[in-house]
Amino acid sequence: METRFKSLKRTGVAYELLNWENRMDNYKYPGTHLSGNIAEYQCYDDGLVRHSGWGMVCVDNMLDCLASLAVFMIENHSEALMKMVAGFWPTEIYHKDIDFAMTVKFREGKRSFYNLGDQKLSTSEKLQHDKRWMEVPSYATGNLDSVLNLLVKSYSDALERLAMYIQVRSYIFDKTGWLQNVEGHFIGNRDDDINNLHAAMSTITGLVDAQKRIESAGRSLDCLRHNWIDKPERDIQYEKITGDCCSA
């Protein structure tokens, strides 16, 4: 399976998908690089031949990398490739988590705490030493920026942050009719790129989800075969075996 693909806009650069065994450690640079599972390298327009070591894809090149990956997946569709990308692709956020984060709001002069896991709010001072609870920060207003900062993990890479940004932004718009932005600092990219980033992410997500649905359909068919399609043949074989035993 081919895991290397050319850049659409960057001359002499190509990208490579990495599995979990050889992925790059990007936890030292949370949010500043795309993903430890996608590397870039110099190919000097020599096809996909690697003429340099792997490097991390920085957020400034995020759009080119994701657009290039979307085209590559469409033009080189295979089950193995879809499964490889699905292995590191961000999962969807629960709507109930977004709804709760929108209710977490700072109140001047009133100290309060929130628990994301249990989705609870409290003003009890004794919770300040309970690690399951966090103090409501001064930036918490229930808007897009606030929700993103409450939900994002400190170790999240740029791909996870981008997926969260797109989903939360769309969800809040559907609920309030207000399309908000966060001035690019959350994902480190220009605001005018967000629509193109959204399109690239949607393309890849659609392909990944389609593969998951195919696998789910296959499991359902296996159950159907076991419980009904192949059942008469199994029953005949069982009756034959038990009948032979009784005769003996």
CB contact at 8 A, 56 and 34 = yes
pLDDT band at 191 (very low <50, low <70, confident <90, very high): low
Residue 186, pLDDT above cutoff 90: no
pLDDT band at 185 (very low <50, low <70, confident <90, very high): low
190 versus 45: the higher-pLDDT residue is: 45
* Interatomic CA distance for residues 230 and 166, integer angstroms: 45
Instruction: Flag the least confident range among 21-25, 77-81, 99-103, 114-118.
Output: 21-25
Determine the pLDDT at residue 206.
Answer: 96
pLDDT tens readout for residues 5-64: 999 999 999 999 999 888 888 776 677 899 999 999 999 989 999 999 999 999 899 999
CB contact at 8 A, 38 and 26 = no
Determine the pLDDT at residue 160.
Answer: 94
pLDDT band at 247 (very low <50, low <70, confident <90, very high): low
Helix (H), strand (E) counts: the chain: 7, 7
Instruction: List for the chain the helix, strand, coil content (%; round to 5).
Output: 50, 10, 40
135 versus 184: the higher-pLDDT residue is: 135
pTM: 0.84
CA nearest 186: which of 217, 208, 162, 210? 162
* Interatomic CA distance for residues 115 and 110, integer angstroms: 17
pLDDT tens readout for residues 85-94: 999 999 999 9
pLDDT band at 212 (very low <50, low <70, confident <90, very high): very high
- Residue 247: C-alpha distances to residues 47, 84, 237, 240 (Å): 72, 55, 15, 10
Burial of 200 (0-12, 13-18, 19+ CB in 10 A): buried
Average pLDDT score over the chain = 89
Determine the pLDDT at residue 30.
Answer: 72
Helices (H), the chain: 62-75, 79-86, 95-103, 144-151, 158-176, 194-224, 231-247
Determine the pLDDT at residue 233.
Answer: 65
Would you say the C-alpha torsion 33, 37, 40, 41 has a positive or negative sign?
positive
pLDDT tens readout for residues 116-161: 999 999 999 999 999 999 999 999 999 999 999 999 988 899 999 9
